[in-house]
Structure 1
Amino acid sequence: MAYRRFVAIGDSTTEGLWDMNPDGTFRGWADRLAERLAQDAPDLQYANLAVRGKLARQLVDEQLEPALALRPDLASVLTGLNDMLRRDCSVPTVIERIDTLIGALRGAGADVIAFTLPDPVPINPIAKGAAARLRNLNRAIRDLSATHGTFLVDLEAHPVASDRRLWHTDRLHANPHGHARIAAAAAEAMGLEGADSSWTQPFTDPLGPRSTVSHAVWAGKYLAPWVLRRLRGVSSGDGITAKRPQLEPVLGT
């Protein structure tokens, strides 16, 4: 079907970090998917309520009601990584919140795109603690997708999603190539014309080893500020507002 109102909710991945437009704003997989959808429906209206650093609880408290008010016929829900990175997170509670998000959107008549999260360890070796929590979350998301009847983008099922060549140097966000693959994965899950499984194909050249120098640089530039924010009880999303809070036409398609 041709959608008319696409609303994306989530955190930094859906906001689009670090996939940059020429003017310095963030693009990201959701913008890319909206551009593809607008090829079939030029009158498509698109809103993106995602804000970096947000937890699943904050999507329920801050993004769900505004999303429902926009009356989407298509919505996307990508959340959970920020929760899983916290050792004290309750995976069952996060699952309940994702169930609330998907259930409310489906109950309002929207088709929903849901996502599993890729294995973080090949991207960031210190994420081993989060990996077990993510596997449990992903199993639950597959079940929720089946229960609610969503499109499912199963990133975990394809090893290329964890190839660090698709990830920014911060080891947390996709780079432009990664965002392009996520958008292609969503298009395939939705059965859009011309979409296929080519996004799952691995790189033809082998991945080289990560140097100890790059690890030290990463720790100083990205890990230390993240730890400091946690200690201070602040988030990278504090003071940030959604880049596209209202439905607007998709330009440049």
Structure 2
Amino acid sequence: MRRLRFIALGDSLTEGVGDPVDGGWRGWAALLADGLAEGPVEFTNLAVSGAQTRDVLERQTPAGLELRADLVAVLIGVNDTLRCTFDIHAVAHRLDRVYAAFTGQGAVLLTACLPDPGAMLGLPRALARPLARRQRAVNAVVHALSDRYGAVHLHAGEGEWLTDRAMWSADRLHPGERGHRQLAVRFHALLAGAGLATGAAPSPVPEFPAPSRSASLLWLATAGTGWVARRCTDLLPQLVSLAADEMRHRARGTSARLDLRASAAVSAALAALSAAEPPEPEAA
């Protein structure tokens, strides 16, 4: 009997950052893999920390297509919003090509809308709003393309779990073990409801104690500082400009124009894709 093949594409969230085991990362996708079938599952995690939609399209997708998976998880987009090169048209185009490539092989897609990084990091409102607007745009694209390609989609960008500190690691941006388990449990419920998961659901109860406050502070003072510095070098100049634009519109009472502009950009990006019909899956 052929084993079910499951591959995961994406960034640090899917790589498993925040859920350390045996000197490496485990994460929600590995936890989910154990419950996809009653028998063995071939699981390959191609996700890489820091990846953007371009990396998923150009590097991870070719490697994933060679594996001819039955189930393909694609969770990506947050790192795009944290770069000065953010372009919702490019994000939509890349995701459309990734989704089409795997569904063209007959694979089932697993997708999710993701939390707003500015809110998770607790940034000042003037800085957080532009990031929130970008993440809403990415989520809107993911929603639309998930419908287009019949993906199993998880609404992970909302809910009580976002404000539950027990779900999150010291950096406030990646789930801790409990949070990764929450994602695995919710994905399993969706897949089981669709008849696509027949194994036992992952346990929501963590195996390991949460990091101590001292360990969290140590991370923030070492690796966390480096992470923030790398992002600031790339993003901060543009973010300051976006914040200044935000405050000008707020002072004039025209903040709604920024939301309308972002919505129009999403609509234009999706309209540019609408002329092409999704390809028919390959014959098994």
> What TM-score range do you get, normalising by the shorter chain?
0.7 to 0.9
* Displacement after TM superposition at 1:19 (Å): 0.6
Runs of 4+ in 1 over 6 A off after TM superposition: 215-219
* Displacement after TM superposition at 1:186 (Å): 0.9
1:4 equivalent in alignment to 2:1? no
Question: Residue 143 of structure 1: SS of its match in structure 2?
Answer: helix
* Displacement after TM superposition at 1:223 (Å): 5.5
Separation in structure 2 between the aligned mates of residue 76 and residue 3 of structure 1, nearest angstrom: 17
Q: Report the AA paired with residue 26 of structure 1.
A: W
Structure with the larger helix share: 2
CA contact (8 A) 1:188 1:195 kept: no
Question: Residue 50 of structure 1: SS of its match in structure 2?
Answer: coil
Question: Residue 77 of structure 1: SS of its match in structure 2?
Answer: strand
Q: Report the AA paired with residue 187 of structure 1.
A: H
Q: Which runs of 5+ in 2 are unaligned?
A: 205-215, 235-284
Please name the residue that 2:270 is paired with. Answer: none
| Counterpart mapping for 1:1-253 below 5 A | 4-21=4-21, 23-38=22-37, 40=38, 42-126=39-123, 128=128, 129-190=130-191, 191=193, 192=197, 220-221=221-222, 224-230=225-231
Please name the residue that 1:208 is paired with. Answer: none
Q: Bigger radius of gyration, 1 or 2?
A: 2
Q: CA-to-partner distance for each residue in 1:24-44, whole Å, 9 max, x for gaps?
A: 221100000001114x2x132
Separation in structure 2 between the aligned mates of residue 29 and residue 35 of structure 1, nearest angstrom: 10
TM norm structure 1: 0.75
Q: Percent of pairs identical after alignment?
A: 36
CA contact (8 A) 2:82 2:131 kept: yes
* Displacement after TM superposition at 1:174 (Å): 0.9
* Displacement after TM superposition at 1:222 (Å): 5.2
Instruction: Determine which structure has greater relative contact order: mean sequence separation of CA pairs < 8 Å that are 6+ residues apart, divided by chain length.
Output: 1
Q: Which runs of 5+ in 1 are unaligned?
A: 200-214, 234-253
RMSD across aligned positions (CA): 3.0
CA contact (8 A) 2:17 2:27 kept: yes
Aligned length: 216
Cα pair distance change 1:216/1:48, threshold 3 Å = closer
Cα pair distance change 1:116/1:195, threshold 3 Å = farther
